């Protein structure tokens, strides 16, 4: 009726005008007929159905179970021996050392731990030290380092970063290397002897190189003024960390493994992920194919006990381990792979049964093309 026909006039004052400038109106322009604008882009429309999922499940099952078995076997073939030498128990050979520990003692305390290898270690043997309840991943600890200084930056050497506090200066002298990580570097000395059945004690040569990441040793870490310098001169004007017995330029007699590029140091500086961790200490190289690297028999571990862990209820271990292509011994991966593979396979069977039972009621339910 007229009420609606005349409504241009029956305004209730609600007229809104599109901006004093007047809004632009898209007039007379037909939208382009392109696939994108019309939402008609060619598309692959996969629909997950039993038909596609079943083969995938079986494939995963068939692939994972052998891989898992392989991993499990590999892991089982790795020889590993763990020796706890914390000295927490009275029966432990290192008990006295751990008890009598003092930062100021000048005479190192040594203890000897005997052990027996039941099986010969054929290939390269890797010696790890392990610490427990040691929070290398504590935030205050992780950030307490100066990567500039460790890279050989002269300025950072004399002016360590604030992050290193409270291990940045000692008696107004800059600490090199500064920070809590460096300060708490693991400094037990571990030596291994083979007790030959004929009574002689043969020291096993431990290789101290090749234990740190190549890039760390050659790029990330560097001595001030280059590695070929006289290091004691290069570190002039700095002082050793509080808990160290030697300055950093006396870590090793080998020039290429001294100062900041000392591999023990570099390994320590890579902070561990978890409070229980192990770090690579030494490598026992394989001599030849005939003799095993470590034959079966009695061995002695000689420890220079410098590193206190009892104050925070920590443990110290030595681990002798061979290595496979997957790294150290860890049954987790193998078990996980077998389990996942089995579950997939089982689900595949269940699904197949269901699929078979229900029949192809809806075709394969695939409406895509």
Partner 1 sequence: MLRRRLNRLLGVDERRVDSRTIYVGHRSSSTNEAFIPPKFCDNRIVSSKYTVWNFLPKNLFEQFRRIANFYFLIIFLVQVIVDTPTSPVTSGLPLFFVITVTAIKQGYEDWLRHKADNEVNKYPVTVLEQGRRIRKESEKIKVGDVVEVEEDVTFPCDLILLQSSRDDDTCFVTTASLDGESNHKTHYTVPDTEKDLETLNATIECEQPQPDLYKFVGRMHIYKNDQEPAVRSLGPENLLLKGATLKNTQRICGVAIYTGMETKMALNYQGKSQKRSAVEKSINAFLLVYLCILVSKALVCTTLKYVWQGKPGQDEPWYNEKTQREKDTNLYLKMFTDFLSFMVLFNFIIPVSMYVTVEMQKFLGSFFITWDKDFFDPEIKEGALVNTSDLNEELGQVEYVFTDKTGTLTQNNMEFIECCIDGFQYKYRDASSDLDGFCVTDGPLNKVQEKAGREKEELFLRALCLCHTVQVKESSEQGQGQRDQVDGFGLDGEVLPPLREQRGFIASSPDEVALVKGAMRFGFTFLGLESKNMKILTRNNDIEMYELLHVLNFDPVRRRMSVIVRSKSGDTLLFCKGADSSIFPRVRQEEVERIRMHVERNATEGYRTLCVAYKNLSAEDYAQADAGLMEARLALQDREQKLMAVYNQVETGMSLIGATAVEDRLQEEAAETMEALQGAGIKVWVLTGDKMETAKSTCYACRLFQRNTELLELTVRTLEDGGRRREERLHELLLEYHKKAVQDAPPVKSGVTRTWSSANQDYGFIIDGATLSMVLNSSSESNSSRYKNLFLQICQNCTSVLCCRMAPLQKAQIVKMVKNSKGSPITLSIGDGANDVSMILEAHVGIGIKGKEGRQAVRNSDYAIPKLKHLKKLLLAHGHLYYVRIAHLVQYFFYKNLCFILPQFLYQFFCGYSQQPLYDAAYLTMYNICFTSMPILAYSLLEQHICIEVLLDNAALYRDIAKNGMLRWRPFLYWTLLGVFHGLLFFFGVRFLFSNPALQDNGQVFGNWSYGTIVFTVLVFTVTLKLALDTRHWTWINHFVIWGSLLFYVFFSFFWGGIIWPFLKQQRLYFVFANMLSSVSAWLVIILLILLSLLPEILLVVFHKPRGPRQKLVQSNVGDHRSPRSAARPLLMRTFTDESNTVI
Burial grade of 330 (CB within 10 A; 0-12, 13-18, 19 or more): middle
Residue 269: Cβ within 10 Å count: 21
Q: Which of 93, 108, 225, 275 binds partner 1 (CB under 8 A)?
A: 275
Under 8 Å CB-to-CB from 27, ≥6 apart: which residues? none
Q: How far is the CB of 129 from partner 1 (least distance, A)?
A: 11
Q: Give the tokens for residue 225.
A: 């003024």
Span near partner 1 by CB under 8 A; candidates 14-22, 189-197, 199-207, 231-239: 14-22
Q: Give the tokens for residue 80.
A: 């590993």
Nearer to partner 1, 195 or 239 (CB): 239
In the region spanning residues 81 to 110, those forming contacts with partner 1, defined by CB under 8 A, are: none
Strand-pair partners of 232: none
* Interaction of residue 123 with partner 1, rule CB under 8 A: no
Span near partner 1 by CB under 8 A; candidates 84-92, 163-171, 286-294, 295-303: 163-171
In angstroms, rounded to a whole number, what is the distance separating the alpha carbons of residues 365 and 184?
64
* Interaction of residue 359 with partner 1, rule CB under 8 A: no
Q: Which of 226, 311, 357, 359 binds partner 1 (CB under 8 A)?
A: 311
Handedness of CA 226, 232, 238, 240 (dihedral sign): positive
Q: What is the DSSP letter of 162?
A: G
For 236-285, the DSSP string reads: TT-B--TT-SS-GGGS-SSGGGSGGG-HHHHHHHS--SSSSEEEEEEEE-
* Interaction of residue 357 with partner 1, rule CB under 8 A: no
Span near partner 1 by CB under 8 A; candidates 161-169, 191-199, 286-294, 295-303: 161-169
Q: How far is the CB of 369 from partner 1 (least distance, A)?
A: 10
Nearer to partner 1, 238 or 322 (CB): 322
Q: Which of 148, 225, 247, 295 binds partner 1 (CB under 8 A)?
A: 148
Span near partner 1 by CB under 8 A; candidates 111-119, 176-184, 252-260, 297-305: 176-184
In the region spanning residues 247 to 266, those forming contacts with partner 1, defined by CB under 8 A, are: none
Q: Give the tokens for residue 211.
A: 């234990």
Nearer to partner 1, 30 or 246 (CB): 30
Residues in contact with partner 1, counted by CB under 8 A, come to a total of: 124
* Interaction of residue 19 with partner 1, rule CB under 8 A: yes
Span near partner 1 by CB under 8 A; candidates 41-49, 200-208, 247-255, 291-299: 41-49
Task: Using CA atoms of 130, 134, 137, 139 in order, give the dihedral in degrees to the nearest 10.
Answer: -160
Span near partner 1 by CB under 8 A; candidates 114-122, 195-203, 211-219, 245-253: 211-219
In the region spanning residues 177 to 206, those forming contacts with partner 1, defined by CB under 8 A, are: 180, 183-184
3-state SS record for 3-40: HHHCCCCCCCCCCCCCCCCCCCCCCCCCCCCCCCCCCC
Q: Which of 72, 126, 244, 249 binds partner 1 (CB under 8 A)?
A: 126
* Interaction of residue 13 with partner 1, rule CB under 8 A: yes
Nearest to 150 by CA among 209, 275, 238: 238
Under 8 Å CB-to-CB from 95, ≥6 apart: which residues? 87, 88, 89
């Amino acid at each position: 009726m007229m009420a609606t026909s005349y409504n241009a006039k029956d305004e209730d004052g609600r007229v809104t005008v599109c901006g004093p400038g007047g809004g632009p109106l898209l007039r007379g322009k037909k939208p382009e007929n392109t696939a994108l604008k019309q939402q008609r882009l060619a598309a692959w429309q996969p629909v997950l159905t039993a038909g596609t999922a079943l083969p995938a499940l079986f494939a995963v099952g068939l692939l994972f179970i052998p891989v898992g078995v392989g991993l499990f076997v590999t892991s089982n073939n790795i020889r590993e021996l763990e020796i706890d030498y914390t000295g927490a128990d009275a029966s432990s050979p290192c008990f006295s050392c751990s008890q009598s520990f003092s930062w100021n003692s000048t005479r190192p305390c040594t203890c000897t731990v005997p052990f027996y290898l039941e099986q010969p270690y054929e290939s390269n043997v890797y010696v790890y030290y392990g610490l427990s309840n040691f929070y290398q991943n504590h935030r205050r600890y992780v950030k307490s380092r100066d990567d500039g200084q460790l890279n050989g930056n002269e300025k950072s050497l004399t002016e360590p970063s604030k992050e290193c506090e409270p291990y940045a200066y000692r008696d107004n002298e800059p600490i090199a290397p500064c920070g809590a990580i460096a300060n708490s570097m693991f400094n037990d000395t571990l030596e291994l002897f083979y007790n030959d059945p004929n009574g002689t004690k043969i020291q096993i040569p431990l290789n101290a190189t090749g234990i740190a990441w190549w890039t760390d040793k050659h790029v990330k870490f560097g001595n001030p003024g280059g590695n070929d310098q006289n290091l004691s001169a290069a570190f002039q004007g700095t002082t050793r960390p509080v808990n160290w017995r030697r300055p950093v330029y006396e870590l090793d007699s080998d020039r290429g493994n001294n100062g900041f590029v000392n591999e023990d140091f570099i390994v320590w500086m890579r902070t561990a992920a978890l409070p229980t961790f192990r770090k690579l200490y030494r490598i026992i190289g394989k001599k030849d194919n005939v003799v095993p690297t470590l034959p079966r028999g009695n061995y002695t571990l000689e420890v220079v006990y410098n590193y206190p862990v009892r104050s925070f209820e920590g443990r110290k271990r030595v681990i002798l381990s061979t290595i496979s292509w997957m790294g150290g011994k860890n049954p987790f991966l193998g078990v996980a792979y077998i389990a996942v593979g089995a579950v997939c396979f089982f689900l595949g069977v269940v699904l197949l049964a269901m699929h078979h039972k229900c029949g192809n009621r809806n075709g394969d339910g695939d409406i895509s093309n």
